[in-house]
A = this chain, B = another copy of it.
Amino acid sequence: MLVVQKYGGSSVADAERIRRVARRVAGVRSEGHSIVVVVSAMGDTTDDLINLVKEITNSPPEREMDMILSTGEQVSIALLAMAIKETGVPAISLTGVQVGIMTDNAHTKARILEVRTDRLKKELDAGNIVIVAGFQGVDDANDITTLGRGGSDTTAVALAVALKADLCEIYTDVDGVYTADPRIEPNAAKLDVVFYNEMLELANLGAVVLHPRSVELAMQYSIPLHVRSSFNHNLGTIVKEVDSMERSLVVTGVAYDLNVAKIGLYDVFDKPGIAYKLFKSLADNKINVDMIIQSATRDERNDISFTCSRDDLHKALSVVQEILPEIGASGMTSNDNVAKVSIVGAGMVSNPGVAAMMFGALAEEGINLEMISTSEIKTSCVIEEGEAKRAIQILHDKFNLAKETDS
């Protein structure tokens, strides 16, 4: 069997943890499997490098940023290869360049175009455990690129796809995917199975166990993922295709996102092209808009509200300020004391009334909904930030997501 395993930064944060990963990998090997291991940078290495850069410049060229950030994984792959060899098992480390993880040239957020397999196969055939640097690739000018935060997950799935691996395991510091963030909802239950589209929504909604792009890629090539802890041998969560033969939970999990800011515009002209003008200007300034609500008022005027990330709020306000006269708005407000809470579940599409249950449960507890957005498998509400934690607990309870107890 060919297994691809990915270990995150917390799993290789120090020498002792690296040795633990080495023993685990060597153990899988002793069962006769071939293994490719993808590793992130150790612990806080990436942040340390970013701080070093900040001492030099506030606007680092992205190509040079990739040059420096990619060293983090290069250190961890070499150390892990050494630790595995120390257990008596042959191992070799490879950078993204050496593997041939070909990407576009969008430095700091590159996308993988192709994974070459010659070197990987040669080293596997030679009996090596192959340790690959996550998060990094190389463009056609032979320049080092990085895939953005969480990119090591994507590296692992891309390698599993290219090598037609039998199994892709994502090791992290939690036991798997939970029905809610266990730090907020102590009764959150570990899910045995999550479908790709649910995982994708959860990942995008702030349940940051897996990087959304890695889930997309796994879904596209139907590669099942096993999300599990590197600190124990418990089974984790399998992320896989929707299987209609299985009983699906109506609601699989509850997620929240605090990195939300809301902007409201009053009395915008009600005529074609106004929304286009507004959101085109925001897009041109690389501001990602999440939820949008438009409501008719009086006198052929509309109110338009939208959300973006808090990091982008300042930039968004200045973009909107500039086009305020053009779109005829009489005023503007903003609020970054809001949060987004969401319920996610592949069963929602065939169970009408789930969204209504959510609204009802929150209303009963006096939580005001400022904005609402729905898709086939999720419903999100923007509420006051201070209510987010309570909302999660209410919804977790309402949809019976708590783990079963022996009592």
Q: Which residues of A contact B (CB under 8 A)?
A: 14-15, 18-19, 49, 52-53, 55-57, 60-61, 63-65, 67-68, 70-71, 74-75, 77-79, 81-83, 85-86, 92-93, 95, 97-98, 119, 142-144
Q: Looking across the interface, which residue of chain B has its beta carbon closest to that of A69?
A: B78
Say how far A164's CB is from chain B's closest CB, in angstroms. Answer: 24
- B93 touching A79, Cβ below 8 Å: no
Most B CB contacts (10 A, CB to CB) among A49, A61, A143 go to A61
Q: Looking across the interface, which residue of chain B has its beta carbon closest to that of A143?
A: B98
- The residue from B56, B67, B83, B85 contacting A74, defined by CB atoms under 8 A apart: B67
- B92 touching A52, Cβ below 8 Å: no
Q: Looking across the interface, which residue of chain B has its beta carbon closest to that of A61?
A: B85
- The residue from B55, B86, B142, B144 contacting A15, defined by CB atoms under 8 A apart: B55
Question: In the complex the two chains form, what is the Cα distance from A98 to B67 in whole Å?
Answer: 11
> 5 tightest CB-CB pairs across the interface, nearest first?
A15-B55, A68-B78, A71-B71, A67-B78, A64-B78
Question: In the complex the two chains form, what is the Cα distance from A121 to B309 in whole Å?
Answer: 43
- A79 touching B92, Cβ below 8 Å: no
Most B CB contacts (10 A, CB to CB) among A14, A57, A78, A81 go to A78
Question: In the complex the two chains form, what is the Cα distance from A209 to B86 in whole Å?
Answer: 37
- B82 touching A60, Cβ below 8 Å: yes
- A79 touching B53, Cβ below 8 Å: yes
Question: In the complex the two chains form, what is the Cα distance from A77 to B74 in whole Å?
Answer: 16
